Structure 1
Amino acid sequence: MKKVYKHTKSRAISALLCACLLTFITGSSYVFAIFRGPAIERFGVDGAMGAYALTNAIAPLPMLIGGFFIDRGKAVWTATCGAFFAALGWGLAAGAQAPGIFVATYGFVGGIGMGLILTSALSNTLRFFPGKRGLIAGIISCINGVAGMIMAPIAQKIIGARGLGATLYTFATIFFIIGIIVALFYRAAPVEGVELCKSNIAPQTQSVQNNDDGAERHVTATQKTPHTDTQLSLEPASTPSKKRKNDEGVEQKIKGVSVTPGRSRKGIRGIIPSFAVLATLDFWLLFLLFTCGAFSGLMVVSNSVGIATGMYGLTSMAAAFYVSLYSIAGTLGRFAFGWISDAIGKTRALQLTFFADACGLAVLTLLPGSALALGVGLFTVGITFGGTIAIMPAFVMDRFGPANQGINYALVFCGFSLAAMLSPKLGAKIGIAHGGDFSTAFYIAMIAAALGFVCASLLGRRAFRHRYRSNSTMTGT
Structure 2
Amino acid sequence: MSVNQTISLEGYTRQQEHVTSVSRIRMLTLIGTIIAQFALGSVYTWSLFNAGLADKLHVPVDNVAFSFGILSLSLALASSISGKMQERFGVTKVTIAAGLMMGAGLLLTAHASSVAMLYLCAGFLLGFADGTGYLLTLSNCVRWFPERKGMISALSIGAYGLGSLGFKYINLSLLQHAGLNNTFLYWGAIATVMVVIGGLLMTDAPKQAVGSQRQANDFTLAEAIVRPQFWMLALIFLTVCMSGLYVIGVAKDIGEQYAGLTFSIAANAVAIIAMANLGGRLVLGVLSDKMPRIRVVSLALLSSLTGMAILLFTPMNMMNFYVALGCIAFSFGGTITVYPSLVSDFFGLNNLTKNYGAIYLGFGIGSLCGSMVAAMFGSFSATFTVIMGLLALSLLLSLLIKTPVREPQLA
Q: Tell me the TM-score normalized by structure 1.
A: 0.73
For residues 47 and 163 of structure 1, do their structure 2 counterparts lie closer, same or farther at Cα, with a shift above 3 Å needed? farther
Q: How many angstroms apart in 2 are the aligned matches of 1:61 and 1:179?
A: 20
Cα displacement (A) at 1:58: 2.1
1:406 aligns to 2:348 (yes or no): no
Distance 1:401 1:383, change over 3 A: same
The alpha carbon displacement at 1:423 in A equals 2.1
* 1:151–1:53 CA distance, 2 compared to 1 (3 A): same
Q: Which amino acid is 2:27 matched to?
A: I
Identity of aligned residues (%): 23
CA distance in 2: counterparts of 1:440 and 1:33, whole angstroms: 26
Give me the whole-angstrom Cα distance separating, in 1, the residues matched to 2:343 and 2:196: 30
Partner residue, 1:453 = 395
- The residue that corresponds to 2:43 in the other structure is 29
Is there any run of 5+ residues in structure 1 with no aligned partner, and where? 194-204, 208-230, 235-264, 471-477
Identify if the C-alpha distance between structure 1 residues 413 and 167 changes in structure 2 by more than 3 Å, giving closer, same or farther: same
Which residues of 2 match residues 102-251 of structure 1 at below 5 A? 102-155=118-171, 165-190=181-206, 192-193=207-208, 205=209, 231-232=212-213
Higher strand content, 1 or 2: 1
Question: 1: distance between equivalents of 2:376 and 2:158?
Answer: 30
CA distance in 1, matches of 2:189, 2:169: 18
Q: Offset at 1:359? A: 1.2
Residue from 214, 217, 228 that aligns with 1:269: 217
In the aligned structure 2, how far is the partner of 1:439 from the partner of 1:165? Answer: 40
Which stretch has the larger CA shift, 82-91 or 130-139? Answer: 82-91
2:96 matched to 1:80?
Answer: yes
Q: Distance in 2 between matches of 1:32 and 1:320?
A: 16
- The Cα shift of 1:466 comes to 5.7
Alpha-carbon distance in 2 for matches of 1:310, 1:36 = 21
C-alpha separation between the residues in 1 aligned to 2:293 and 2:51?
Answer: 38
Q: 1:16 to 1:33 in 2, by over 3 A?
A: same
* Residue 55 to residue 397, structure 1, CA distance change in 2 (3 Å): same
Question: Quick one: distance in 1 between partners of 2:22 and 2:34?
Answer: 19
Instruction: Report the residue type matching 2:324 in the other structure.
Output: G
Task: Using the TM superposition, give the Cα deviation of residue 104 of structure 1 relative to its aligned residue in structure 2, in angstroms.
Answer: 0.9
Tell me which amino acid in the other structure corresponds to 1:293: V
Give, in whole Å, the separation in 2 of the partners of 1:400 and 1:75: 21
The offset of 1:139, in angstroms, is: 1.4
Determine the structure 2 residue equivalent to 1:327: 274
Separation in structure 1 between the aligned mates of residue 371 and residue 362 of structure 2, nearest angstrom: 14
Determine which structure has the larger helix proportion and give its number: 2
Q: Give the drift of 1:164.
A: 5.0
Over residues 394-431 of structure 1, what are the superposed CA-to-partner deviations in whole Å (9 max), with x where a residue is unaligned? Answer: 1111111111112111111112221122225655x589
Q: Which residue of 1 aligns with 2:68?
A: 52
Equivalent residues in 2 for 1:234-313 (5 A)? 265=215, 268-270=216-218, 272-311=219-258, 312-313=260-261
Q: Report if the CA contact (8 A) 1:89-1:109 is conserved.
A: yes
Larger deviation: 320-329 or 101-110? 320-329
Correspondence for 1:443:
385
Quote the offset at 1:43 in angstroms: 4.2
In the alignment, is the contact (CA less than 8 A) between 2:261 and 2:318 conserved in 1? no
Partner of 1:473: none
CA deviations 1:373-401 (Å, max 9, x no partner) are 33222222111101110111011111111
In structure 1, what is the Cα distance between the partners aligned to 2:62 and 2:204? 39
The 1-side partners of 2:266 and 2:164 are apart by 14
Q: What CA distance in whole angstroms lies between the structure 1 residues aligned with 2:326 and 2:49?
A: 21
**CA distance, structure 1, for counterparts of residue 318 and residue 172 of structure 2:** 21
Please tell me the residue identity of whatever aligns with 2:107: G
* Equivalent position of 2:110 in the other structure: 94
Distance 1:177 1:334 in 2: 26
Instruction: Measure, in 2, the Cα distance between the counterparts of 1:441 and 1:134.
Output: 32
Partner of 2:5: none
Match of 1:17 among 25, 31, 36: 31
Shift of 1:150: 2.9
* Residue 339, structure 1, aligned to residue 286, structure 2: yes
2:86 is the alignment partner of 1:70: yes
SS at the partner of 1:342? coil
Tell me how many residue pairs correspond in the alignment: 389
TM-superposed deviation, 1:148: 2.7
